[in-house]
Amino acid sequence: MPLRPIMLTRPPVEIMLDDGFWDELIEGGFREVCVSWMAFLNEVENGEPLPSHEEARPRVLSFFEDKGDQFEYVPIIKPDESLYDGLNLSPPTRSDEFDPNFGELRDAFQRASAKGINLYLFDDKSYFEISGYPAGPEGARGFSCWNDPQVAKYLVARTRDYVNQLPMFSGIVLDGPDNKWEIAPGARDDLFAENCVCDHCQSAARSMGLDLMKLIDALAAFKLEMQQLNDEKVEGFLLNTRGFLGAADWWLSHPELLDLLRFRYRTIEDHMKREYEGIKRHLPEFTVMASSRTPSYVALTGHALSRRSAYADYQLPKLYLWAGNQPGFRYTVSNYANTIAEWNPSLSRENVVALTERILGIEFPADYPVEKFDDPATSSFYEQVAGDEMRKMIHLTGDVDKLIPFIALEHFGGPQIQPQEVRDLLRTLENSGISRYIFFHYGVITDDVWNVLTEFSK
336 neighbors 360 (Cβ within 8 angstroms)? yes
Q: Which is nearer to Zn ion, 198 or 257 (CB)?
A: 198
Residue 198 binding Zn ion, by CB under 5 A: yes
For residue 44, what are the contacts with CB-CB under 8 A and spacing of at least 6?
70, 71, 72
Residue 3 binding Zn ion, by CB under 5 A: no
Closest distance of CB 149 from Zn ion, Å: 12
CA distance 36 to 175: 11
Q: Which is nearer to Zn ion, 39 or 152 (CB)?
A: 152
CA distance 217 to 318: 30
Closest distance of CB 197 from Zn ion, Å: 7
Residue 226 binding Zn ion, by CB under 5 A: no
Part in contact with Zn ion (CB under 5 A); list of ranges 137-145, 352-360, 366-374, 441-449? 137-145
Q: Is 366 exposed, middle or buried (0-12, 13-18, 19+ CB in 10 A)?
A: exposed
Q: Which is nearer to Zn ion, 83 or 87 (CB)?
A: 87
Please select the residue that binds Zn ion; options are 6, 105, 145, 151, rule is CB under 5 A: 145
Closest distance of CB 195 from Zn ion, Å: 9
Q: Which is nearer to Zn ion, 94 or 180 (CB)?
A: 180
Q: Which is nearer to Zn ion, 202 or 309 (CB)?
A: 202
Residue 215 binding Zn ion, by CB under 5 A: no
Closest distance of CB 301 from Zn ion, Å: 15
Please select the residue that binds Zn ion; options are 33, 108, 201, 312, rule is CB under 5 A: 201
For residue 53, what are the contacts with CB-CB under 8 A and spacing of at least 6?
413
Residue 218 binding Zn ion, by CB under 5 A: no
Part in contact with Zn ion (CB under 5 A); list of ranges 48-56, 101-109, 145-153, 377-385? 145-153
In the chain, what is the straight-line distance between the N-terminal and C-terminal CA atoms, in Å? 9
How many of the other CB atoms lie within 10 Å of CB of 354?
A: 16
Please select the residue that binds Zn ion; options are 108, 157, 196, 403, rule is CB under 5 A: 196
Q: Which is nearer to Zn ion, 143 or 314 (CB)?
A: 143
Residue 135 binding Zn ion, by CB under 5 A: no
Q: Which is nearer to Zn ion, 204 or 445 (CB)?
A: 204
Part in contact with Zn ion (CB under 5 A); list of ranges 25-33, 73-81, 146-154, 237-245? 146-154
For residue 371, what are the contacts with CB-CB under 8 A and spacing of at least 6?
none
Q: Which is nearer to Zn ion, 55 or 189 (CB)?
A: 189
CA distance 416 to 56: 12
CA distances in angstroms from 297 to 360, 389, 392, listed in the order given: 6, 10, 12
How many of the other CB atoms lie within 10 Å of CB of 232?
A: 9
Instruction: Compute how many residues bind Zn ion; rule: CB under 5 A.
Output: 5
In the complex, the residues that contact Zn ion under the rule CB under 5 A are 145, 147, 196, 198, 201
